[in-house]
Amino acid sequence: MNANLLNVILLGIAFHLLFFSFQTSVFIQQTVVNSFRTRPDSNFTGDGYVSLCITYAVFALANWLAPSVIAITGVKYGMFFGAITYVLYSFSFIYLTTTLFYLAAGLIGLGAGLLWTAQGSFLSKISDADTSTRNAAIFWSMLQSSILFGNVFVYFAFDNQTTISDKTRYIVYGVLTTVGASGTLFLLLLRGDKEFDDDNTSDNNHIAQSSPSQDGGGGRGAESTCNNTDSMTPWGQFMESLKLAKSRDMILLSTAFLFTGQLLSFFTGVYGTAIGATSEFGIDSKKYIGLAGISIGVGEILGGATFGLLGTRVNRFMGRDAIFILGYAATTIAFTLTALNLPPDSPLVAHSVLPAIIDSRLWIAILSSVLIGLGDACFNTQIYSLLMSVYSDKSACAFALFKFVQSAGSAAAFLYSTRLNLYYQLAILAVISSIATICFCIIEWSKRKRDAIEKTDSQQNIIKHGNDDND
């Protein structure tokens, strides 16, 4: 097997296990916290939405520092150190106190900045123009399949439970902590920069972007992922990120980054909580949180497989812009169905009091879940593909900015989720998604135009040199 493809698969396995733990924790967090907080003997005052707001706010700030840290640790160990904080986060639910709860939320925000910036840089280094879409989709499908399997576990663990008992919490988070630790160890199996550069020198890829003087032992040398000599230093990486952030293309792309962050907050933290609080779903409403998560995972895998694993064939007929628009259509339908099907107060209470516009139906909630997962896969695979294609020489900086804006959007969404009812939240998502789709298409069309001009110029130069040789 090609060394780069092996790295993509190992990366996918590690993130699948790690996010089996984390995303499952996030899906059930508000429900678990509500059950623990409402016990007669509890002095716990934490709030799940506030915790996640802290996580993503710290994550947003950490993204500015992440390229500088990765310049010291290298991408492999940057991911490893970041992953450790995810394990500690799951463990904090076993011994649940308000202080530890919020402390773990801030700590994982720091770790996430390292993990995701290093991941984006690593994936860019092992991809080229021909494999970027495939690699992004393989990774995305393996990552998001964790939603499916994690929520299968929750579906059975929460069976016939109107409130979550201590015993169930210990079992669930004990399993999630163990699985997350396994994913963290898998990151150590990734081949270092020097190793896969040597294997692929003959392929003439752009992968060998590291300085000849850097240490090849496991990728611990300085990352030359930005454009100039100064950017090899931590300070240079930071300044390059600031410079890139002010460019026209990155400003337009930021609307897409922002929307994916808000959508992430909605389907991981709000949507499952709303289903679990819908009184019309009866005694099994908490159990249906897992079922909704499974359905979102199905949509994610479907989207990742269709537009990534089969990307070469599909992209002959559909460009990145068309796939992004398809995601917009899928999520718009899902938002409309959700507004009709779920009560407006469902994200804010343990059991809904207000009625939905129509009689709540489980099958509509499940269909909406699949559409949300499909749309999210469309958005993220195409953003990854575009960033790896356009910013391959500035991958750490580009992915740091992506995660900064995305996590800022998530933090903002979790903050307003503590106050706004379902209808207002869906309206915000609908408006931002429309703006994001327009801006993404503008960038894609501009790139396509530039590529066409470059191709034409290249052909003219070949013809010119051919004529000169004949003379």
pLDDT for 401 equals 85
pLDDT for 144 equals 78
Pull the structure tokens for residue 414.
Answer: 């979790």
**How far is 92 from 233, CA to CA, in rounded Å?**
35
- Rounded to two decimals, the pTM is 0.76
Q: How confident is the model at residue 216 (pLDDT cuts 50, 70, 90)?
A: very low
Instruction: Evaluate whether 22 touches 89 at the Cβ level (below 8 Å).
Output: yes
Pull the structure tokens for residue 386.
Answer: 């575009």
Mean pLDDT of 66-73: 84
**How far is 446 from 99, CA to CA, in rounded Å?**
49
pLDDT in tens, 130-182: 777 778 778 877 887 888 888 888 888 777 666 777 888 888 899 999 999 99
Instruction: Evaluate whether 89 touches 25 at the Cβ level (below 8 Å).
Output: yes
Three-class HEC string of 343-356:
CCCCCCCCCCCCCC
Pull the structure tokens for residue 395.
Answer: 């991958």
pLDDT in tens, 94-131: 888 899 999 999 999 999 989 988 888 888 888 877 77
334, pLDDT greater than 70: yes
Burial 156-185 (b: 16+ CB within 10 A, else e): ebbeeeeebeeebbeebbebbbebbbbbbe
Pull the structure tokens for residue 197.
Answer: 């550069």
Pull the structure tokens for residue 6.
Answer: 């092996």
pLDDT in tens, 23-45: 888 888 877 887 888 777 778 88
Mean pLDDT of 195-220: 36
77, pLDDT greater than 60: yes
Task: Give the chain's domains with CATH numbers.
Answer: 1-192 (1.20.1250.20), 234-458 (1.20.1250.20)
Measured in Å, how far apart are the chain's first and last C-alpha atoms? 47
More confident of the two residues 313 and 63: 63
Percentage of the chain lying above the pLDDT 90 cut: 37
pLDDT for 245 equals 83
**How far is 418 from 14, CA to CA, in rounded Å?**
32
In this structure, the dihedral spanned by the alpha carbons of residues 144, 150, 156 and 162, taken in order and rounded to 10 degrees, is -90
> What separation in angstroms does the CA of 63 have from each of 68, 221, 358, 434?
10, 20, 43, 26
Q: How confident is the model at residue 402 (pLDDT cuts 50, 70, 90)?
A: confident
Instruction: Evaluate whether 125 touches 192 at the Cβ level (below 8 Å).
Output: no
